[in-house]
Amino acid sequence: MITWPHFDTTTPVLVQGITGKEGLRMSSWMRAAGTRVVAGITPGKGGQEVEGSPVFNTVREAREAFPNAVTSCIVVPGAHVRAAVEEAFAAGITFVYVLTEHVPVHDVRAMRATAAAHGGVLLGPSSVGYLQFPAFRLGYMGGMNPFATLKEGGLAILSGSGGMANETLMACARNQIGVRLCLATGGDPVNGCSLTDAIHLVESRADVTGIAVFVEPGNALLRTLLSGIIQPRKPLVICLPGDALESLPRGLPYGHAGTVLGEEDPSLTEVRAALTEKGYRTTARHETFIQWCREIM
């Protein structure tokens, strides 16, 4: 089971790739949401500053200057992500978040193994981020100024899709539904942190009263819930869309987030019914999902 660190407004965060266009933008958005970005890392750019944060050539140099910084955000080209992740964990980082898309699957598998070997957490790649009240955010989760529009509460929102995580957050804001945290595991077929890992995280938090999961067909979470491998104690509601897949050839990936309906998989209607029988309210309609979020927030 993954052990997540404690995040709050004092948590120091590093950004690997901070001097690039996306690194500059992401670090600025994170600061605006309350995240304490203390330093950046770009090889060959050591000695520069970005919005008052010093830039270092290596993660190890940044950690020597900020020894309490054990969280790093990575926004570098896909071909360099694996090396950046390995460098971070080797330097003592315990939580690595990766925004970058199109990271090769074999690299992601190797990154997962690196994280496990160091007892760390890898969120992403291809993840829009993590948001937590009262004022902590990694990546772009929640838009430009999320804590000005969202209401604080006890709901945890979990999703493979970053777009649907944000859509659910905004629907909660419109309906005055109180949120504690929201995370997207990432839109690639292989992720560092799974939705099952994320459920373990929120189950351990006393400030979470209910769990809302947006999950797409083929996600391993569906099998773990139906098999009883995990049995969340907190109220859990599920949005499982994808009925259009029933009319398409089986066994092929559609959309993103590893969406696949296998040749031998039951229909989505059957999966929803089985999940409901297990005690998890499950729907294909996002409107119904949001109504249930209000009831468990």
The set of catalytic residues is 256
Mapping DSSP to helix (H, G, I), strand (E, B) and coil, where does residue 260 land? strand
Beta-strand runs (E) in the chain: 12-16, 36-41, 49-50, 53-56, 71-74, 95-98, 121-123, 129-132, 136-139, 151-159, 178-184, 210-214, 236-239, 281-283
The whole-angstrom distance between residue 216's C-alpha and the CA centroid of its chain comes to: 15
Q: Which amino acid is at 87?
A: E
Instruction: Indicate the residue type of 94.
Output: T
How many CB atoms sit inside 10 A of residue 162's CB? 25
Question: How far is Cα 251 from Cα 65, in angstroms, rounded to an integer?
Answer: 50
The 8-class DSSP code of residue 247 comes to G
Q: Which two tokens stand for residue 183?
A: 């995370």
- Strand 210-214 vs strand 151-159: parallel, antiparallel, or unpaired? parallel
At residue 236, what are phi and psi to the nearest 5 degrees? Answer: -130, 125
Q: Which residue has the tokens 């993103």?
A: 256
| CA 176 – CA 91 distance, rounded (Å) | 42
- Pick the closest to residue 115 from 82, 137, 139 (CA basis): 82
Angle, helix 78-90 to helix 105-117, in steps of 10 degrees: 10
Q: Which helix (H) or strand (E) holds 59?
A: helix 59-65
